[in-house]
Structure 1
Amino acid sequence: MEVLLNKIHEDIDYLNSQGKQVKEIRMNPNIFESMIELTDVKVSKGVATVFGIIIKADESIEKYVFVLDEVT
């Protein structure tokens, strides 16, 4: 899971460098359950965040996807 967490962080950094803002990360429920056990993932009041971004379980996702803020 640490490798996946590092990959997610790299992807977020890349998207930020391209001027895109990640609003949310949706991931497979099995990955989500493993992810919330990591120390970098914070869970407060039923909301999980990693790197300050909300993460949610979604059964329709194979691995994970980023939800980006709409461009204005």
Structure 2
Amino acid sequence: MQTLTLSEPARFASVVPGRDEVCVSAAPTSEAQGRDAGTPAPAPCQPVRVSLAPSEQRMMVTMLTP
């Protein structure tokens, strides 16, 4: 699990090569804490293929806003 920004790629290190999934969901901001935000929606996932190299891999991920 990691926190992403709008301009930085997701970074993955020490992952096993092969097929996997990356799932992205929004975390509540400090403004939303304390309010009932309801039931969180399931995180949408996208399939990825992990290569043997480089040891740290990067990818840009997108997330739809509610």
Shorter-chain TM-score above 0.5 = no
| Higher radius of gyration, 1 or 2 | 2
Relative to the length of structure 1, the TM-score reads: 0.30
> Which one has a larger percent helix, Structure 1 or Structure 2?
1
Relative to the length of structure 2, the TM-score reads: 0.31
